[in-house]
């Protein structure tokens, strides 16, 4: 028991280094280079102007993390886990983005005390603003990174909920429309609206056009606005909030849920999908990673399904139902209806 506990403690201690090894492999395109076949340290070292011994250390570390595999001839090939990283849309960009998060986590006590503005808050001005206050560049940066990582979230959300019978779905804070596009492709009789900041409109309409959903005969449209500043459009009989609530504090969430309730007809559906805390049963992925990620954003909070249910009840929703997920580190889902 003591030996196992010691190994687990050391695994926690070296976690930061493991993440930085992954970052180095991605920054130097080592994983993608190995897609073309086996390489040794000398070959890769020349490509990047790095000492051979240090490149060997990086490759050994990658193999120890099961991202690479060391062959008997001393060359390295891509392992299944390394190949999986390349196959997940947006994962490489998220790893690169973690430089910003790691900088804030370098002084966790200062982060917990709320001392000064965080790098994450500067990176994500999107979550603080109201439409005109956010530059198109900032909105596009947020939406592009989220769109790349939204594919798996959309898949897991649509696996958890059925939208059969929904006439129109409004995806609030839907960015470039990744979730709405996936939903409309699955439910061919449904129409949809992306409601988000004006700075996102061009990227969203481009993406929806590419998906064949926007145009004279299209089933989707973009409605510009800020849920902080205005009421939500009416007309939809279902509203989705996909990775939206955890960007914001409780007061903002209460206001948003009240606006969603007002926009829906009686019986209208609400779908909330995002990583959620384990609550009374703390979860390694969400209560460690996402809890501190949202804390570093400045206004965010990773809530349990129970807390989200409570906030929805306060807004007047009924039939609250938390839905278990096979991959809680991707997302969990809570559904509700307007009474």
Predicted confidence (pLDDT) per residue in 200-253, tens digit: 899 899 999 999 999 888 899 999 999 999 999 999 999 999 999 999 999 999
Q: Average pLDDT over the chain, rounded to whole? A: 92
pLDDT band at 130 (very low <50, low <70, confident <90, very high): very low
* H/E stretch holding 77: strand 76-78
* pLDDT, tens digit (0-9, with 9 covering 90-100), for 12-33: 999 999 999 999 999 999 999 9
Say if residue 329's pLDDT is above 80.
yes
Segment 54-76 mean pLDDT: 98
Distance CA 225, CA 256 (A): 13
Residues 6 or more apart in contact with residue 183 via CB below 8 angstroms:
154, 158, 163, 169, 171, 190, 192, 240
In eight-state DSSP terms, residue 286 is I
Say if residue 126's pLDDT is above 70.
no
Distance CA 123, CA 121 (A): 5
- Output the pLDDT for position 132: 42
Residues 6 or more apart in contact with residue 163 via CB below 8 angstroms:
169, 183, 186, 187, 190, 238, 269
Question: In this structure, are residues 119 and 105 in contact, taking their beta carbons and an 8 Å threshold?
Answer: no
Segment 128-141 mean pLDDT: 53
- Output the pLDDT for position 89: 80
Q: What pTM does this model have?
A: 0.89
Name the percent of the chain in helix, strand, coil, to the closest 5. Answer: 55, 15, 30
pLDDT band at 140 (very low <50, low <70, confident <90, very high): low
Segment 290-300 mean pLDDT: 92
Say if residue 134's pLDDT is above 60.
no
Domains and CATH numbers, the chain: 3-87 (1.10.10.10), 110-338 (3.40.50.150)
């Amino acid at each position: 028991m003591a030996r196992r506990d010691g190994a687990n403690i050391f695994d926690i201690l070296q976690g930061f280094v493991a993440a930085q090894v992954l970052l180095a492999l991605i920054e130097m395109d080592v994983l993608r280079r190995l897609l073309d076949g086996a390489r040794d340290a000398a070959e890769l070292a020349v490509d990047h102007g790095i000492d051979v011994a240090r490149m060997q250390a990086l490759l050994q570390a990658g193999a120890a993390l099961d991202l690479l595999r060391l062959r008997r001839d001393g060359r390295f090939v891509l392992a299944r886990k390394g190949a999986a990283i390349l196959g997940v849309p947006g994962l490489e960009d998220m790893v690169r983005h973690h430089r910003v998060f790691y900088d804030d986590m370098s002084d966790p006590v200062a982060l917990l005390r709320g001392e000064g503005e965080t790098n994450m808050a500067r990176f994500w001005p999107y979550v603080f603003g109201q439409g005109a206050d956010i530059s198109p560049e900032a909105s596009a940066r947020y939406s592009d990174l989220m769109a790349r990582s939204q594919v798996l979230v959309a898949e897991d959300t649509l696996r958890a909920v059925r939208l059969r019978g929904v006439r129109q779905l409004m995806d609030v804070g839907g960015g470039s429309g990744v979730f709405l596009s996936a939903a409309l492709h699955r439910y061919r009789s449904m129409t949809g609206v992306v409601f988000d900041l004006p700075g996102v409109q061009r990227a969203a309409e481009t993406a929806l056009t590419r998906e064949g959903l926007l145009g004279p005969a299209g089933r989707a449209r973009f409605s510009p606005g800020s849920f902080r500043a205005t009421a939500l459009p009416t007309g939809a009989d279902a509203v989705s909030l996909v990775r939206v609530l955890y960007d914001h504090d409780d007061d903002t969430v209460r206001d948003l849920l009240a606006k969603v309730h007002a926009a829906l007809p009686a019986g209208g559906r609400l779908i909330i999908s995002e990583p959620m805390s384990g609550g009374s049963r703390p979860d390694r992925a969400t209560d460690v990673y996402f809890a501190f990620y949202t804390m570093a954003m400045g206004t965010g909070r990773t809530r349990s399904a129970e807390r989200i249910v409570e906030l929805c009840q306060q807004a007047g929703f009924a039939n609250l139902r938390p839905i278990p997920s096979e991959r809680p580190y991707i997302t969990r889902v809570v559904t509700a209806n307007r009474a």
